Structure 1
Amino acid sequence: MTQDAITAYWQPIVSGYLSGHTALPLSLGLTEAEYQVIAEACGMVDMFPADLQSLQLRGELLRLRRDEMNELSRLLHDYLQPQTQFGVQMITVLSCACMGGQHLWRDLAMPERPRLTDLFGYYFPALRQLNVNNMRWKRFLYRQLCERGGDYVCRAPSCGECSSYGECFEVAG
């Protein structure tokens, strides 16, 4: 992994986590050892999150959605660019962040949505290419789960007919 990828993707996530601005649980949902390696790569070792109690509670709540997170993880794993450093860890982080209530880029504390799109291009290029209409990433992932026959409801026969079209797709203004 290049330092550029660490700076572009991991540093905002770790920084947002430490400041309490992500939807991520303790250690980003990773093992403590995995988290420490990533924090060190980001130059943020020996820094601690602002609110441990909230992070622990978030982790307990995520355990209730373990099956859903596992499905997301399998989807992402199927598209992971081979040999990317911290790629497996990014799958875990993204799966955890998808459980948050905001747009995925906000649940990760990314500075803007295009950075998340770049992240998908780096770690999951084939999945990025499938998102030809620039659908919002969390919705796109759940749409992919729906198409795989998951228990996720696709509410309209096609996106063009859906009343939530504006919520899913970034409309140029």
Structure 2
Amino acid sequence: MTSEDEVALFWLPIMLSYIAGDTVLPPQLGLASVEYDAITSRARVLRQTLDKKHLSERRQLRQQLLLMRQKEYRELKALLIEHANPESGFAEQAASVIACGCLGNRHLWKDLGLPERPRLSRMFAWYFPQLFNANDRNMRWKRFLYKQLCDHGGDYVCRAPSCNECSTYQECFGSEER
């Protein structure tokens, strides 16, 4: 996949949703300036509009949330980067944005502004193929990531020793209707 394909398939929908205010992403999509420039330079037409949208009060609140939950953000990002596809052009940016999206309270694909969950799964398949393959039971992505952190000694929600025994099984594996 070329970087133009990556931008068209994953980043353009995220940027358009960001412009519309339909994401939980903080200023600059939660990216450092260099990472942000690498992505948005591919979408020159949107760049000016994107840059103006960072100034909203809502985005500043998202930035404050990110600052308050830095440890969680860093752990999520590190997990993703550890499993990054070295051939992808924007895996680090994807790790940052997905980690920011996990701090929202809706389904991850919605908080990122993607049009549907399968697009998020394709994003994982491209940027983080090991994690994609490990999610062989199609657990919701945000829950899957937190379960990975929990399984590696984190202090995140792991309610049962086995998913089959868990009383909230449907919350993780049920359908995700809009």
Shorter-normalised TM range? over 0.9
Q: Which residue of 1 aligns with 2:95?
A: 91
Give the unaligned 5+ runs of structure 2. Answer: none
1:39 match:
40
Q: Note if 1:153 corresponds to 2:153.
A: no
TM superposition shift of 1:38: 1.4
Give the letter aligned to residue 6 of structure 1: V
Partner secondary structure for residue 36 of structure 1:
helix
Check whether the contact 1:134–1:170 (CA below 8 A) recurs between aligned residues.
no
Q: Name stretches of at least 5 consecutive residues in structure 1 with no aligned partner.
A: none
Residue in structure 2 matched with residue 73 of structure 1 by the alignment? 77
Question: Which ranges of 4 or more aligned residues in structure 1 deviate by more than 3 Å?
Answer: none
Alpha-carbon distance in 1 for matches of 2:29, 2:150 = 26
Amino acid at match of 2:74: N
Q: Distance in 1 between matches of 2:61 and 2:67?
A: 10
Q: Aligned partners of 1:7, 1:86: CA distance in 2, in Å?
A: 12
- Structure whose residues are more often helix by fraction: 2
CA contact (8 A) 2:26 2:54 kept: no
Structure 2 residue aligned with 1:26:
27
* Residue 5 of structure 1 pairs with residue 9 of structure 2: no
Match of 1:15 in 2: 16
Native 8 Å contact 2:163 2:169 kept in 1 = yes
2:68 is aligned to 64
The alignment covers a number of residue pairs equal to 173
1:68: Cα distance to partner? 0.5
Deviation readout 1:44-70 (Å, 9 max, x if unpaired): 121132861110111011111000011
TM-score calculated relative to the size of structure 1: 0.93
TM superposition score normalised by structure 2: 0.91
